[in-house]
Amino acid sequence: MNVEIDLRDLARDIAREAGDLARRRRAEGVSIAASKSTLADIVTEADREVEAFIRARLEAERPDDGFLGEESTASESRSGITWVVDPIDGTVNYASGMPSYAVSIAAVRGGVTFATWEALAGAVDVPALGETFDAARGEGSRVASASGTSRLHVASEYPAGALIGTGLGYDPATHAGDIATMQAVMPLARDVRRIGAAAVDLSYVAAGRLDAYFERGLKSWDLAAGSLIVAEAGGSVVELPEDPFGRRMTIAAHADLAASIADRVRSVN
Ligand code: LIP
């Protein structure tokens, strides 16, 4: 079997185990450990525990790989492969008891940013909803659930307008600009959804449940797995330059729709 499939299957297995741990901790009750960039940007004890679990499992299986996670110190790669991990993406949803949160695990080669990495494999586990999305470079994308495993394909037709996911940053100072961007994109949309977990948004674009997704300020760990899952489902992931707050725009959709959204984003930024 090729290395991308091996990495995908490892990411999938660990994401499922980590997702089960996150779900059990949620049922036991969640405690906020700290806030980060702003008071709204929280981390729970479960975020830290789940990341430590994932890191230990990866080190046991592949000790020479590097690690970049949201909640712990990065480690350099000796193998050329780095794992980019968000232990609980959608932390505010998780802390609030809402089901849209995910474990996101990706293996990349080269750099650790969207512009510099070559994504090889990724998995997004949504434990509260019983779905695991995954992809291996050149091998397509899949979703697995109790009803089986199926291939993913992005949507390419939206006669009533596109159903578009988006998000707002934790910093209130960025909200006016984000809302202006949403207003500029709305002529393309039938409606918008604010799911609150980028890895879920991206997986839903890959599955054709959302027609597109855009958001400024995503971190590498938010989008590493989901962007590969979109690309391997026939979609396009575009990154636009930083705004005055230093936040790059990520757009995911079928290539034509992604280009139309990018044009409208540029018209207001
Ligand atoms: C979240 C993203 C989401 C964004 C939130 C937050 P976290 O990541 O997945 O798309 O809108 O502001 O950044 O902080 O839950 O890992």
Q: Are 124 and 225 in contact (CB under 8 A)?
A: yes
pLDDT digits (tens, 9 = 90+) for 201-241: 999 999 999 999 999 999 999 999 999 999 999 999 999 99
User: For the domain bounded by 162-268, which CATH number is listed?
Assistant: 3.40.190.80
pLDDT over 70 at 40, yes or no = no
Strands 102-110 and 117-126: antiparallel
Mutate to test the pocket of ligand 1, among 32, 43, 91 (most ligand atoms within 8 A of CB): 91
State which CATH number among 3.30.420.480, 3.30.540.10, 3.90.1150.10, 3.40.50.80 fits the domain covering 3-151.
Answer: 3.30.540.10
215 C-beta closer than 6 A to ligand 1: yes
**223 torsion bin: left (phi>0), alpha (psi -120 to 50), beta (else):** alpha
Q: What's the pLDDT at 269? A: 77
Distance CA 160, CA 34 (A): 43
Residue burial 236-262, b: 16+ Cβ < 10 Å; e: rest: bbbbbeebeeebbbbbbbbeebbebbb
pLDDT digits (tens, 9 = 90+) for 67-125: 999 989 999 999 999 999 999 999 999 999 999 999 999 999 999 999 999 999 999 99
Mean pLDDT of 39-59: 88
pLDDT over 70 at 42, yes or no = no
Residue in the structure block whose two tokens are 């050149």: 138
Which atom belonging to ligand 1 lies closest to the Cα atom of 88? Answer: 16
Chain mean position to CA 78: 25
Dihedral sign computed on CA atoms, order 91, 93, 97, 102: negative
| Helices 45-61 and 3-28: angle between axes, nearest 10 degrees | 150
Annotated domain spans of the chain: 3-151, 162-268
Question: What pTM does this model have?
Answer: 0.96
The residue contributing the CA closest to ligand 1 atom 5 is 196
Which atom belonging to ligand 1 lies closest to the Cα atom of 201? Answer: 10
The residue contributing the CA closest to ligand 1 atom 10 is 198
pLDDT digits (tens, 9 = 90+) for 152-207: 999 999 999 999 999 998 899 999 999 999 999 999 999 999 999 999 999 999 99
